[in-house]
Amino acid sequence: MTTKSIANTVYSWVDERLGLGELAKFARKKTVPVHKQSFWYYWGGISLFLFLVQCFTGVLLLVYYRPGADAYESVRQITFTMHFGWLIRSAHAWSANLMMLSVLVHMFSVFFMKAYRSPREFGWFSGMMLLALASVFGFSGYLLPMDELSFFATKVGLEIPAAIPVIGPIIANLLRGGPDVSEFTVQRFFALHVVVLPAVFIPLLAFHLWLVQKHGNAAPPSEEAKPASQRKSMPFMPNFLVKDLAMWIISLNVLALLASIFPWQLGKQYDALAPAPLGIHPEWYFMAPFEMLKLLGLVFSGKLAALGEIAGILIFTLGIVLWLLIPFYDPNLESGRRGRRAHYFGLFAIFALLVTTAIGYWTIR
Amino acid sequence: MNYPFWEIPYLGSGWVIGIISIFHVMISQFAVGGGLYLPLAERKAMRMTDRTAADAWMKQLAGHSKFFLKVTGIYGTVSGVGIWFAIGLTHPEATSTLIHNFVFGWAIEWIFFLVEMTSIAVYYYTWDRIDPKLHLKVGWVYAVVSFFTLFIINGILTFMLAPGSTWLGVAGTGHEASVFWSAFFNPTYWPSLLLRCCVCASLAGIWALISASRIDSDSARNLKIAVVRWSAKWLAPSFLAMPFLFGWYLLMVPSSQRALLTLGVDTIGTGTFSVITRVALIIVITSATVVGVTYYLAYRNPEDFTLSHALAILVLALVATGAGEYSREMLRKPYVIGQWMYSNGVRVPDAIKIDQRGYLAKSNWVWNNADTSYSRGEAIFRGECGSCHTLHGYRPLATLLSGRDSANIRAFVSMLHEYKPDSPYHRFMPPMVGTRQDVDDLANFLNAQVNPPATAIAAQR
């Protein structure tokens, strides 16, 4: 038997049982629209790639990381004594940040291409859920090194849910494992970070990807308005796939550059009794919500000061709900004026995020 | 010491050379690789049986040669002179040593350079004006002379990393030029030359892809596919040979220098020079990426290959070149000329003399007002530290020494002065040379930067 015939036999055996042929047929038929905005199609793939990097580096970190009282010491060993431990940790932290960035770019590109419109509503909802879970991934992972900065930033961050009336303190205590951030908190955040979140995130991600396969890539309204004969497209296999892979390699390169030239630092070990150091601030992707809450709190000062934070949380939650429900407000190509308003809402959201982030960094003390 | 010091705040004088050099290397190696690309592409077109395809290919090539002439003839030459200007100001002692040894080499280099510039101008301006065979010959002249500019400069560059025992045996006697060829064909010469040849070929392909990406796929589909694929193939030699050549090169680098590469394997600690390991990693990753991305975007998808794809590859190549040149420079530490001259311009055998008579004793350019401990310390800082460090900026001493009090800073400077073989700084930093007074003066100056009087007073309170 030649190598080719062996390969054919093996392929037929697997094909009969798993239906690979149908999959290949589907992939061959699938196309991706080609237009001026095609560039934005890559960001979902880039986000997926960065998530895979995090899974891989996360598992490697898991080998040496010790939650609880030993947390800081284990991260110190990873960063300063293990061979290429610093590289794995830097790649993990940088890919987390890059993933948040690419997810945000992906979300806004979906928004402005109106890809949330019928029949892709579930793609939008699942995507927003994934973003929310990714934020929790970020928040829980940030504490794990237990250095000064992560300790105090988490402490401040957990004061936000604590401000919710009645259930707030209960939620905050549950997350902290007590009234203060301590080694119990690390234990809980660790379980959240490596077990609970992946268990929820991965099936949801699979659902999201399945929806993309089912409905295909949405073309922007300007393209959809064109007659079918004038629209261009490229086959998913192999044209789009090889370009997607090239983008993955470029992303890997950007990640390698950042992780190598700016390795993720480790601050001093936390000291719960010490005063909070200067310049405590949330991660950049939490800066905008943090600052918005702060600003809304100021608006409600004076007699309503006590209600300030609660009102802030309410208004902020309302904004998120509106954002989430946009497919119902602007459901299809015939939305007309509503479509334009949704567009302005998107522009306003970007403006608000950028301005509040800038104010947040400007006013760090 | 014999020359005034050129201080560039924040950026550091080394980066002035670095920025100009990386830019220059990107272009000059394109000039060498592209020198071979042009006649080979022209010959390929001349041999084509389909005359329409051949004419389209020639027209594309003529356009590319204009781009080539502009990039190499203007930016390449200006940045080349810029390097001379910058190294003369930043490392006058080292430049002086190079001139004394290689003046003959540089004379040859300049002749090749003149022929190179003339022949590329003739090549471009005589498209369709002279017999095609003669035009091709002009292209070959350019290819040969541009290769020899690399052949010569490679000898001088590699000499600085590994001058070789023969040259070191006569260094300082005044007879250094008598062992010119030994210094020229030093241990790292051949692997470095072959490595650079591979890089030149890759850059020829990468820059050609910029021109090729602008061919319209709809009106000239076949031409675009042919030119993009042919240009992408120029990266193949790098893909196949670079790992072996890189290994050979490292094998020829003196082991003391090679050891620097492992300093950052297990730490990101500041002041341990771990950065070279990290930057060396980037060379490997980015070079592999350039090849991979070129394969996917250009070779596999020539029709859809756009200018933005080509620019992405060019930027990646710039990163790889930058990382490569940075690592090559860093690999020489603590020397600027291996085993002979420290990176701050102090000759190795002079260190003992300077320890006896003082660092500023022969620095005639230091103005007479260097009469306080602070001003003497400042002059010593500029001379001994300034070629690698700034106060606030690149490798900032104010930050690297922060958290230390005056006694601690003095102890640190003394440690650099004693330069014991087991000192962690011994491998990548030159000794602090001078008298005990010089040590005190430098420590006082640094302490005033790290702990300004106002801070010190506040701390006492």
pLDDT per residue as tens, chain A (365 positions): 688 899 999 999 999 998 888 888 888 888 888 888 888 999 999 999 999 999 999 999 999 999 988 999 999 999 999 999 999 999 999 999 999 999 999 999 999 999 999 899 999 999 999 999 999 999 999 999 999 989 998 988 888 888 777 888 898 899 898 888 998 999 999 999 999 999 999 999 999 999 998 998 888 888 888 888 888 888 888 888 888 888 998 899 999 999 998 999 998 899 888 888 887 888 999 999 888 888 877 777 666 666 777 777 888 889 999 999 999 999 988 778 899 999 999 999 999 999 999 999 998 86
CATH number at residue A145: 1.20.810.10
Any domain includes B373: yes
Any domain includes B4: no
What is the structure's pLDDT at B140? 98
Question: Considering its fold, how many domains does chain B have in total?
Answer: 2
| Phi, psi of B336, rounded to the nearest 5 degrees | -100, -30
Q: Residue B185, SS3?
A: coil
A122 shares its domain with A177: yes
A261 shares its domain with A188: yes
State which of B342, B362, B390 marks the end of a domain: B342
B144 shares its domain with B204: yes
d(CA B368, CA B379): 11
Residues of A with Cβ-Cβ distance to B316 under 8 angstroms: 250, 253
Contact A242 B289 (CB under 8 A): no
Disruptive mutation site among B276, B296, B299, B315 for chain A (greatest number of A CBs within 10 Å): B296
Beta strands A232-235; B335-337: pairing state: unpaired
Which residue in A143, A168, A200, A152 sits closest to A309, CA to CA?
A168
Any domain includes A157: yes
A241 shares its domain with A306: no
Contact B282 A256 (CB under 8 A): yes
> Of the candidates A80, A90, A243, which has its C-beta nearest B269's C-beta?
A80
- Answer whether B315 touches A (CB < 8 Å): no
DSSP state of B179: G
Q: How many contacts (CB atoms, under 8 Å) link A and B?
A: 71
Any domain includes B239: yes
Disruptive mutation site among B278, B284, B308 for chain A (greatest number of A CBs within 10 Å): B278
Contact A242 B301 (CB under 8 A): yes
Any domain includes B1: no
Any domain includes A227: no
B325 shares its domain with B410: no
Q: Among all chains, which residue has been given the structure tokens 């007073």? A: B457
What is the structure's pLDDT at A321? 94
Q: Among all chains, which residue has been given the structure tokens 């992939």? A: A27
What is the structure's pLDDT at A304? 67
**B393 is written with which tokens?**
């900026």
A60 shares its domain with A135: yes
B55 shares its domain with B98: yes
Contact A81 B319 (CB under 8 A): no
What is the structure's pLDDT at A161? 81
DSSP string of A54-96?
Answer: HHHHHHHHHHH---GGGHHHHHHHHHHTSTTHHHHHHHHHHHH
Any domain includes A148: yes
Question: Considering its fold, how many domains does chain A have in total?
Answer: 2
- Answer whether A262 touches B (CB < 8 Å): no
Residues of B with Cβ-Cβ distance to A238 under 8 angstroms: 300
A208 shares its domain with A116: yes
Any domain includes A289: yes
B159 shares its domain with B287: yes
Q: Consecutive sets of 10 residues in chain B, 461 residues long: mean pLDDT of each? A: 82 91 93 96 96 95 95 93 92 91 92 96 96 96 97 95 94 90 95 96 97 94 96 94 94 91 84 86 91 91 92 94 91 93 93 93 72 89 91 91 93 95 88 95 95 65 50
State which of B292, B312, B342 marks the end of a domain: B342
Residue A38 near residue A32, CB atoms below 8 Å: yes
Any domain includes B232: yes
Min Cα–Cα distance to chain A from B400, Å: 15
> Of the candidates A82, A243, A260, which has its C-beta nearest B281's C-beta?
A260
Any domain includes A17: no
Any domain includes A19: no
Task: Judge if the upstream peptide bond of residue B453 is cis by omega within 30 degrees of 0.
Answer: no
B186 shares its domain with B96: yes
> Of the candidates A239, A249, A265, which has its C-beta nearest B301's C-beta?
A239
B-proximal residues of A, 79-98, CB under 8 Å: 79-87, 90
Min Cα–Cα distance to chain A from B280, Å: 9
Any domain includes B5: no
Contact A252 B285 (CB under 8 A): yes
Any domain includes B8: no
What is the structure's pLDDT at B174? 87
- Answer whether A250 touches B (CB < 8 Å): yes
A130 shares its domain with A163: yes
**A210 is written with which tokens?**
């399945």
Any domain includes B6: no
Contact A261 B282 (CB under 8 A): yes
B316 shares its domain with B372: no
Any domain includes A199: yes
B357 shares its domain with B241: no
A-proximal residues of B, 287-306, CB under 8 Å: 289, 292-293, 296-297, 300-301, 304
B335 shares its domain with B355: no
Q: Mark out the alpha helices in chain A (DSSP H runs).
A: 3-18, 20-29, 42-64, 71-80, 85-112, 121-143, 148-157, 159-162, 167-176, 183-191, 197-215, 221-224, 241-261, 284-299, 305-324, 326-329, 337-362
Contact B292 A257 (CB under 8 A): no
- Answer whether A258 touches B (CB < 8 Å): no
Q: Residue B329, SS3?
A: helix
Cα atoms in the Cβ-side hemisphere of radius 13 Å centred on A226: 12
Which residue in B187, B318, B234 sits closest to B38, CA to CA?
B234
A327 shares its domain with A258: no
State which of B342, B358, B386 marks the end of a domain: B342
What is the chain B residue with the closest CA to A258? B282
Which residue in A236, A314, A258 sits closest to A101, CA to CA?
A258
Min Cα–Cα distance to chain A from B267, Å: 4
| Residue B347 vs residues B1, B200, B332, B363: alpha-carbon distances, Å | 10, 34, 14, 15
B331 shares its domain with B353: no
What is the chain A residue with the closest CA to B308? A39
B360 shares its domain with B311: no
A257 shares its domain with A311: no
- pTM exceeding the 0.90 threshold for the entire prediction: no
| Residue A116 vs residues A109, A264, B133, B244: alpha-carbon distances, Å | 10, 36, 62, 51
Residue B235 near residue B209, CB atoms below 8 Å: no
> Of the candidates A83, A243, A253, which has its C-beta nearest B289's C-beta?
A253
CATH number at residue B423: 1.10.760
Range of the domain at B355: 349-460
Residue B166 near residue B84, CB atoms below 8 Å: no
Range of the domain at A165: 35-217+232-268+275-280
A244 shares its domain with A292: no
Residues of B with Cβ-Cβ distance to A84 under 8 angstroms: 265-266
What is the structure's pLDDT at B456? 55
Min Cα–Cα distance to chain B from A260, Å: 5
d(CA A39, CA A150): 36
A197 shares its domain with A300: no
B327 shares its domain with B355: no
A69 shares its domain with A180: yes
A210 shares its domain with A307: no
